[in-house]
Amino acid sequence: MAQVFITGSADGLGRMAAQLLIEQGHTVTLHARNQARGREAMAAVPGAETVVIGDLASINQTRKVAEQVNALGKFDAVIHNAAIGYQESRRIPTEDGLPHVFAINTLAPYILTALIEKPKRLIYLSSGLHQSGAASLEDLLWEKHRWQGQQAYADSKLHDVLLAFAVARRWPEVFSNAVDPGWVATRMGGPRAPDNLEQGYRTQVWLAVSEDPAAKVTGQYFYHLKTRKPNPASHDVERQEKLLTACEQFSRVALPEN
């Protein structure tokens, strides 16, 4: 059975994925941004091994999340599920001076990928909105343009696909893929979201632990257990490297070579 770590697993798709993995007999470590949310997560997911604590909006706390995970041993899979949506009406800076959306949705998975001991599989949660993400990767911190919450979110979800594909290229021994869970009825998606909620979390579980040959692939973009064509820019190696360079500069954390 597999050892799986899931970021942002106090509620929503992360919690649902954790519950399914435990039902299947796997060992799951949860993540929450603070102690109160951690207690809620452990109560909501009976059978979870433990929970690591850290606010992914903070570079320092994200580093500490990686330290906590590494102290628990080597994991078979990491699901980068944590994210915030597009409802922020203004640019909210973090303690590091970064836009809240960029810090959590883009930079945190980059830092965790770089610092957590390499698992066998990596899954990055993206969105269909990544298709409208800004492929230029200019003004990542929204210092020159007027803030647009939905565009900032779309950009960050394109970043997640770029990161997944960059890791797949750099670390060929790791299965690294991106997932669009669909517009599903979670707190982020809202009650009227039309997509299949069960398929929204089953896909990342399948990629994390399945022995199905269709799941043991790398550098792919999935929607409801099937591959789907991502934004063509996500395959551009120069763009991948540009994002990695920017994330390294912001975090002072380098993604190891193979």
Instruction: Kindly write down the DSSP assignment for every residue of the chain, as one continuous string.
Output: --EEEETT-SSHHHHHHHHHHHHTT-EEEEEESSHHHHHHHHHHSTT--EEEE--TTSHHHHHHHHHHHHHT---SEEEE-----S---S--B-TTSSBHHHIIIIIHHHHHHHHSPP-SEEEEE--GGGGGS-TT---TT-SSS---HHHHHHHHHHHHHHHHHHHHHH-TTSEEEEEE--S-SSTTT-TT--S-HHHHHHHHHHHHH---TTTS--S-EEETTEE----GGGG-HHHHHHHHHHHHHHH--PPPP-
Nearest to 14 by CA among 39, 35, 45, 36: 45
Question: Comparing C-alpha atoms, which of 47, 16, 63 is closest to residue 185?
Answer: 16
Tell me what pLDDT residue 201 has: 87
The mean predicted confidence, pLDDT, of the chain is 93
pLDDT digits (tens, 9 = 90+) for 76-100: 999 999 999 777 778 888 999 999 9
196: pLDDT strictly greater than 80 = no
- Token pair belonging to 227: 């591959």
pLDDT mean over 147-174: 97
pLDDT band at residue 200 under the 50/70/90 scheme: confident
Say what the pLDDT of residue 158 is. 98
pTM across the whole model: 0.95
User: pLDDT by residue (tens digit) across 31-42?
Assistant: 999 999 999 999
Question: What is the pLDDT, as a whole number, of residue 89?
Answer: 74
Domains and CATH numbers, the chain: 3-251 (3.40.50.720)
- Cβ contacts of 15 within 8 Å, gap of 6 or more: 9, 30, 41, 44, 45
Flag whether pLDDT at 61 surpasses 90.
yes
**Residues designated catalytic:** 153, 157
Condensed to tens digits (0 to 9), the pLDDT of residues 110-139 reads 999 999 999 999 999 999 999 999 999 999
Surface-to-core class of residue 36, CB atoms within 10 Å of its CB (0-12 exposed, 13-18 middle, 19+ buried): exposed
* Residue in the block written with tokens 């990161």: 163
pLDDT of res. 195:
53
Distances from the Cα of 130 to the Cα of 94, 111, 152, 224, 249, angstroms: 23, 20, 10, 16, 23
pLDDT score at 87? 73
* pLDDT tier, 189 (very low <50, low <70, confident <90, very high otherwise): very low
Q: Per-residue confidence at 159, pLDDT binned at 50, 70, 90?
A: very high
| pLDDT over 50 at 185, yes or no | no
